[in-house]
């Protein structure tokens, strides 16, 4: 429980560039006052009684996607409001607090700082104390009620709804046709994209950063710690999104009453004949069928459910030259034995002391690939990429190893689909099959008669 004021610490000093967002805040929260502190902050009076800390943090950022949608900050559009907290919150032990300047501080006031601004003009009030005498306070219950009524900001692959900003009545339509290119990711032509669609796409390609919220809760400095992890980048002509968001992009474009015109830049690869020397269990067969219906996807299954066996089956079914990514030497040995047994081919290997590739089925250590600067050329000949324990890929050095590959089919295998700061749904697509039953003794996929034993 905290008492005092709510503070929205805005990014930089560009308050004058965000007048529409400030008006949106005023419409949503009602009674607000603006204080021109050293870094330009907007402050809402709460009153003298205690306010629940969770209510203090929830109203603005989580409840105003419209304001975030219209943010024009080139540095980080998704994080228009850097920080929302109670001005009198108890700082963590050893911390000096949030350093918010006191209102009407003598020296700063002479420099035009720590004074209260007119929200209509963003200029200081002529009579500061006269203005304060007419300010009405929000009660803690009013703040809590408004915070509860506001919808949270959804980010990540689950952000599939197009939301127009309430800060303006101008909602330009999307072009009748939006051009896109498929390669290592999904790239959309920026020309003509309305702000609502552009922000929704960026939200879908962003993730909450748990480290930010952990530090915020402990009242530690969040300087240099982004609220969101951005999985997209953009240039003057194109917005580049992760490959796993293709279905989300199609949904959002349809909601914008537009049509996606896709140019597929992914190369076609020659097909090969692989035998599959095993008979899958019914649960494994259902998982395989679901995987083969899509170009991207993740198989979630507990340890011992035969993920390696199920992972070998798409290689035989598609006939594509395949790259298998693993994060441990023990998995290299496991996959090499299964590929030789189930597919009847000797795989190449990068990592674990080996450097030979076969071009048919190759195994690679993520740590080895992360140290290479020629990944686009080295791994350009594969039509299927399988990542065992794909939840490890969000690590920056490992994710870089797969972002450059314009491969057509991707399959992630994991028993732990959720990880702090995990971006694998954006790279590998949604879960296609899950909870493949862990086999009992003797219940693994059976080798066909005549198949070699490991």
Q: What is the pLDDT of residues 156-167, one digit of tens each?
A: 888 888 877 766
**Mean pLDDT value of segment 133-161:** 78
CATH superfamily of 278-447: P-loop containing nucleotide triphosphate hydrolases (3.40.50.300)
SS3 256: coil
Return the SS3 of 428.
Answer: helix
Sign for the CA dihedral angle at 60, 66, 67, 68 comes to positive
Of the candidate ranges 224-238, 358-372, 389-403, the one whose mean pLDDT is the lowest: 389-403
Which of 88-102, 238-252, 385-399 shows the lowest mean pLDDT across its residues?
88-102
pLDDT of 186 above 90: yes
Q: What is the pLDDT of residues 363-397, one digit of tens each?
A: 998 888 877 777 777 778 899 999 888 776 655 55
With beta carbons less than 8 A apart as the criterion, state whether 105 and 114 touch.
yes
Which pTM was predicted? 0.70
Distance CA 353, CA 59 (A): 54
Cα dihedral value 241, 63, 13, 225, nearest 10: -60
How many CB atoms are located within 10 Å of the residue 207 CB?
19
CA distance 185 to 187: 6
3-state secondary structure at position 447: strand
Q: Can you tell me the distance from the alpha carbon of 79 to that of 134, in angstroms, rounded to the nearest whole number?
A: 32
In the chain, % of residues over pLDDT 90: 23
- Dmax (CA) of the chain: 93
Q: Report pLDDT digits (tens) over 8-61.
A: 555 444 455 555 655 665 555 554 555 554 433 444 444 555 555 555 555 444
User: What is the spatial distance between Cα 23 and Cα 7, in angstroms, rounded to a whole number?
Assistant: 16
Pairing of β 185-189 and β 177-182: antiparallel
DSSP states of 70-120: T---SS-GGGSEEEEEETTPPPPTT-----PPPTT-HHHHHTT-SEEEETT
Query: How far is 19 from 34, CA to CA, in rounded Å?
Result: 12
Residues 6+ apart with CB under 8 A from 104: 114, 115, 128
* pLDDT surpassing 60 at residue 79: no
DSSP state of 179: E
Tokens matching residue 68: 């975030």
């Amino acid at each position: 429980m905290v008492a005092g004021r709510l503070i929205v610490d805005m990014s930089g000093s560009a308050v004058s560039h965000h007048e529409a967002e400030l008006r949106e805040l005023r419409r949503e929260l009602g009674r607000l006052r603006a204080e021109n502190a050293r870094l330009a902050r907007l402050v809402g009076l709460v009153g003298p009684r205690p306010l629940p800390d969770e209510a203090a943090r929830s109203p603005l950022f989580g409840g105003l996607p419209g304001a975030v949608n219209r943010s024009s900050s080139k540095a980080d559009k998704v994080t228009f409001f850097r920080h929302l907290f109670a001005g009198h919150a108890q700082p963590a032990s050893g911390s000096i607090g949030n350093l918010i300047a006191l209102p009407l501080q003598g020296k700063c006031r002479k420099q035009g700082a720590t004074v209260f601004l007119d929200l209509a003009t963003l200029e200081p009030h002529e009579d500061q104390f006269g203005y304060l005498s007419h300010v009405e306070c929000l009660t803690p219950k009013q703040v809590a009620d408004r915070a509860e009524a506001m919808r949270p900001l959804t980010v990540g692959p689950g952000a599939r709804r197009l939301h127009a900003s309430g800060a303006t009545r101008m909602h330009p339509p999307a072009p009748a046709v939006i051009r896109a290119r498929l390669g290592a990711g999904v790239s959309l032509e920026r020309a003509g994209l309305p702000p609502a669609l552009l922000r929704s796409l960026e939200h879908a390609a962003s993730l909450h950063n748990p480290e930010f919220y952990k530090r915020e809760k402990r009242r530690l400095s969040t300087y240099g710690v982004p609220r969101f992890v951005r999985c997209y980048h953009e240039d003057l002509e194109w917005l580049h999104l992760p490959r796993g968001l293709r279905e989300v992009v199609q949904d959002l474009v349809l909601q914008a009453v537009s049509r996606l015109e896709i140019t597929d830049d992914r190369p076609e690869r020659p097909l090969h004949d692989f035998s599959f020397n095993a008979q899958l269990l019914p649960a494994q067969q259902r998982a395989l069928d679901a995987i083969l219906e899509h170009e991207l996807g993740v198989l979630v299954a507990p340890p011992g459910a035969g993920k390696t066996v199920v992972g070998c089956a798409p290689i035989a079914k598609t006939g594509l030259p395949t790259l298998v990514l693993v994060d441990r030497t023990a998995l290299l040995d496991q996959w090499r034995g299964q590929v030789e047994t189930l597919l009847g081919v000797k795989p190449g290997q990068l990592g674990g002391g080996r450097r030979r590739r076969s071009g048919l089925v190759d195994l690679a250590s993520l740590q080895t690939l992360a140290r290479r600067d020629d990944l686009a050329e080295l791994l350009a000949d594969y039509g299927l990429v399988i990542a065992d324990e794909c939840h490890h890929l969000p690590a920056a050095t490992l994710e870089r190893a797969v972002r450059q590959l314009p491969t057509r089919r991707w399959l992630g295998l994991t028993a732990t689909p959720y990880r702090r700061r995990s971006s694998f749904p954006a790279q590998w697509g949604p879960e296609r099959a899950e909870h493949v039953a862990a086999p009992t003794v003797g219940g693994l996929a059976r080798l066909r008669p005549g198949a070699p034993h490991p």
